[in-house]
Structure 1
Amino acid sequence: MTAPPPTPPASGRGVRVALASATTALTPVSATPRLDAELLMAHALGVSRETLLLQRLDSPTPHSFGPLLARRLAHEPIAYITGSRAFWTIELAVGPGVLVPRADSETLIEAAVEHFGKGNPKTILDLGTGPGTLLLAALDQWPGATGLGVDASPEALAYAERNRLALGLGARASLQRGDWGEGVSGAFDLILSNPPYIGTGEELPAEVRDHEPGAALFAGSDGLDDYRRIAPQLPRLLAPGGAAILEIGATQAAAVTALLEAQSLAVALRHDLGGRPRALIATRSSELVTRRS
């Protein structure tokens, strides 16, 4: 039988003491227990984390902190509890039914910035946009661009709609329910995609396995099913001089590269800040420019 989670600290004591106690309680649950405690406390107080640390450490602990902490001790993702997640230069509303944006996915935006240099993509396509993560971050990066986000999940598109309006991008971002690139017309300067890439037999942390949508995580026994569908669509959707940038799992660079090269695309690899293979940059073979991974 699984042991019950530790009892959350009682409310009423000072924030500083409650944060220390919560950090201890969260250590078996999270790789970032102090950060989690601070984010939950800031949410309970209705202030930013910066304001919490600079001004509110000696405040009384709000009564809402205990229930929030209990949810995290039950492995619910922080982003679902607070209802938001920062990504690149934007803040996104998220919740059950959508994939939580990861910092590692910012590697795709970094790769796009490097690819275009001083230039600017005018048209952007995000295949599997989720809550609008990559599309809206790219539109914020390039104010002159317009873009389309496609997702099969109505729950994800509802969050993407909410986010595009909240960020003031309603006139520049369109959303479409669909199956990857099927039914999408036009050629795009920048195509971004973070498809499911986890094998169905792979182990996942409880907060991912038990809370985030499986359709956004799993892609067949080898995790490659959706790449097999996306790769043949890219030559039709990619504008001359453009780039398609796909997130990959740490062991998938060779397999996904082969799928892209079979479509006469040239491929470069980009690593994330942890040094793990994270993104493949596909361009038309005749336009290949050697880039540092």
Structure 2
Amino acid sequence: MKPHTQPPAGEVDIAGALAWARARIDQMDARVLLRHVLQCPAARLVAWPEQRLDGADWASYRALVERRVAGEPVAYLTGSREFFGREFMVTPAVLIPRPDTELLVELALAHFAGQRAVRVLDMGTGSGALAVTLALELEAADVVALDRSREALWVAMANAARLGASVSFVQSDWFDALGDERFQLIVANPPYIAAADPHLEEGDVRFEPRGALASGPQGLDDLAEIITGAPARLESGGWLFLEHGYDQASAARGLLADAGFAQIASWKDIAGIERVSGGRWLGRGPGRGA
């Protein structure tokens, strides 16, 4: 936390508000929060630094800055986060979308762009960022999104409606409520942090839903469950892509091999870390030459 400074007395202009906030929080966060309060583009903060904030806006801004000082994520304070060029509503009921997860979209487009009526399953949809993006980016895609949390599904459904995406939503504990449906593509950003990892008590993740983050003693429980169950839900030739932790690529590839997947690989995120692993289901089980 940065040293405490008293806010300016009386009226304050944009420059003064930002100067006060920058003594307490990150400069970028200060600007994002002020843009949110003023509902204005970034250029306005630069072009009119002398513009005065009215009393209500100044009070709202101070309150948001104090909450950020206490650690609340900016995305929860503003109620939105950008993903793949679109703004998604987020609440504390869902994980905050992150740029690393866009790799799942890029892989889906690389394998299925140009194909019509691809059946897609997004597992653990949270805010719906993946499902909605794939519904909008893949031509005539038939997208199903599931989550065990009803509160998360409400957020995802609101995002789909606001962005004009056609997505079917199912409340399900992984594959349990899907019946005998099959898909050509399954994507998932499941919980993959070890339950005792100290990072769960640090930074923004302290405020995110624990059930969307942690998965067993090694962080592999949900990854293993999805990989084991996916063959029964994939059409022959279908693909499974999963996001995982920075040090879990080898374990994920091993789980995919044990489940009988072919063309197994891992792909690097924007930081050069193997962040997504996946494989192709050719309709053959373990030990039969998958």
| TM-score (normalised: structure 2) | 0.87
Task: Tell me what 2:288 maps to.
Answer: none
Q: CA deviation at 1:54?
A: 5.3
Q: Which runs of 4+ in 1 moved over 6 A?
A: none
Task: Find out whether 1:41 has 2:39 as its counterpart.
Answer: no
Task: Tell me what 2:183 maps to.
Answer: 188
Name the amino acid aligned to 2:187. Answer: L
Which structure 1 residue ranges, 5 or more long, are not aligned? 27-32, 288-293
C-alpha distance in structure 2 between counterparts of 1:186 and 1:56, whole Å? 56
Task: Tell me what 1:22 maps to.
Answer: 21
Instruction: Specify which structure has the bigger relative contact order, considering alpha-carbon pairs within 8 angstroms and separated by 6 or more residues.
Output: 1
C-alpha distance in structure 2 between counterparts of 1:90 and 1:189, whole Å? 25
Name the amino acid aligned to 1:110. Answer: E
Task: Tell me what 2:65 maps to.
Answer: 69
C-alpha distance in structure 2 between counterparts of 1:55 and 1:143, whole Å? 41
Matches within 5 A, 1:106-117: 106-117=102-113
Q: CA deviation at 1:7?
A: 4.7
CA contact (8 A) 1:75 1:206 kept: no
Deviations 1:173-204 (A, max 9, x none): 01111011223132212211000000012122
Deviations 1:84-129 (A, max 9, x none): 1111132111111211111111111112122235445621110000
Name the amino acid aligned to 1:196. Answer: P
C-alpha distance in structure 1 between counterparts of 2:45 and 2:276, whole Å? 35
Distance change in 2, residues 1:56/1:99 (3 Å): farther
Task: Tell me what 1:200 maps to.
Answer: 195
Task: Find out whether 1:52 has 2:50 as its counterpart.
Answer: no
CA contact (8 A) 1:8 1:22 kept: no
C-alpha distance in structure 1 between counterparts of 2:269 and 2:134, whole Å? 18
CA contact (8 A) 1:8 1:70 kept: no
C-alpha distance in structure 2 between counterparts of 1:4 and 1:118, whole Å? 51
C-alpha distance in structure 2 between counterparts of 1:78 and 1:181, whole Å? 33
Compare 8-17 and 80-89 and name the one that shifted more. 8-17
CA contact (8 A) 1:6 1:25 kept: yes
Task: Find out whether 1:211 has 2:211 as its counterpart.
Answer: no
Name the amino acid aligned to 2:147. Answer: D
Matched residues, percent identical? 35
Let me know the Cα RMSD of the aligned residues.
2.2
CA contact (8 A) 1:196 1:217 kept: yes
Task: Find out whether 1:284 has 2:288 as its counterpart.
Answer: no
Structure of greater Rg: 2
2:235 aligns with one of 231, 239, 252? 239
